[in-house]
A and B are shown apart, each in its own frame.
Chain A
């Protein structure tokens, strides 16, 4: 598997406190990699190290096959687009003038500004200064700047911050489409599980600066505990019979969910004259997995 980003033992410590601790990140080429972690887990610091804006205390980082150091960051970032923390916007300039700064630095043709503005639907803003933009519009402008020049890799730090629900949906779809439409790899950080679940195909979960799990999203879902919940004509007897628990809410919870045990279970209940009123499959979802991996103190 070809990797766009690979880190080995990447560590950042401030005054002896490790913010990122021996992180081994592996982002496959062409993936939308969701970088998930509670606030303060070390996501932004990791991204800054990948951009060469912050020096690593230990370990190494390779981006698009190039080792990243503050010395060669300009060379590496010529192929990388990024939106870290809040977007860079000159409030006294228009959206077009703001993108002109990026266009000039990247040496792109003039038309790239119009294309980028159209992609994030800011092409109607005309001579309005960015200082008069809403938070969501600024976020879109930041995204437009990151997308300029079709970078091979995009590092997006909580890109949907400040957007309204429609904007969030739109940006999610845009990010999801990027690998297919532009052939780029996306590393997108978030502390929102649902967001990562909807956008990513690979996930890395970081907690207290350490990578606690990474791999394809499907594998993460497969780790989820599943169970059946049923309501019967006699819940207590059904629970005894199935050796299951009966909650105060009246539902009987059975851990098995495969076809054959379920068939056996329904038959045995029927034989005992217990009717099944409702039968539902449940799983703990990403939130449960996340909390199990990061510890219950993790705040989402």
Chain B
């Protein structure tokens, strides 16, 4: 806990909450336009929001995860602080605190976005309010996907002092996330930002009804969850092992 508080203290004046607000606002602005397209009291408005949010997140939350993970590592690179920190903190504790710190920021962003979606849906008085389980499923899928991104970009940000590498990787994954939903599922699974859409339960059939998209809810994609969580743990374990061997 002390280590975690310290990570947030080190981020003071780094405008991390502002970045989270800005990127979530971008997603919500897009969703608002989407809701506008559905029209007032649409019978499929909520489903449309639940479908569109993960697609937007694969770009914007990927970007946020990359920027925050990079920033959390960069404060210590910039301060030349690893020597001091590793004299007083266990490597595992230090890295875990950094990871949890970024994860909490991402959880805050996801919570903010869900609140925004709720406001947009109510504003347009959509009539197809999904069950609580769907909200939980959406939140869980976006959190797990964000954490995957954090673990991968975080590993790069800690390993390379030059943050260009981490940010470039984050941007690439962010763009890849945008197009990943057009790829076959097997390929999509190879792209960390692809899990934003892979893990969701909302599906759409573009040709089912008279020219209109038909939304349906699929069961929780457990296999993809297992893959995403394995990716997350593998990235964390490898980072910790590599950093423990590193001589400062």
Contacts and interface: CB of A to CB of B under 8 A. Distances in A.
A82 interface: yes
Contacts, number: 76
Contacts of A101: 6, 9-10, 81
A208 interface: no
Interface in A47-95: 48, 51-55, 70, 73-74, 77-78, 80, 82, 84-93
Interface in B27-55: none
Contacts of B86: 53, 73
A277 interface: no
A128 interface: no
Contacts of B83: 48, 51, 53, 82, 84-85, 88
B87 A74 contact: yes
Contact of A80 (B5, B80, B87): B87
A78 B88 contact: yes
A92 B9 contact: no
B128 interface: no
A55 B86 CA distance: 13
Contacts of B79: 88-91
A70 B87 CA distance: 9
B136 interface: no
Contacts of B90: 74
A120 to B, nearest CB: 16
A104 B81 contact: no
B88 A106 contact: yes
B230 interface: no
A1 interface: no
A101 B89 CA distance: 11
Interface string A87-114: 1111111000100111011100000000
B84 interface: yes
B247 interface: yes
Interface of A: 48, 51-55, 70, 73-74, 77-78, 80, 82, 84-93, 97, 100-102, 104-106, 145
Given A91-B78, A92-B75, 17 more contacts: A52-B87, A74-B89, A74-B90, A77-B87, A77-B88, A78-B88, A82-B87, A86-B80, A87-B80, A88-B85, A90-B81, A91-B79, A101-B10, A104-B2, A104-B6, A104-B9, A105-B2
7 contacts: A48-B83, A54-B248, A74-B87, A82-B87, A91-B79, A93-B10, A102-B88
Top 10 A-B residue pairs of the complex, sorted by shortest distance between their CB atoms:
A88-B84, A88-B81, A105-B88, A77-B87, A90-B79, A54-B247, A53-B248, A92-B13, A88-B80, A104-B6
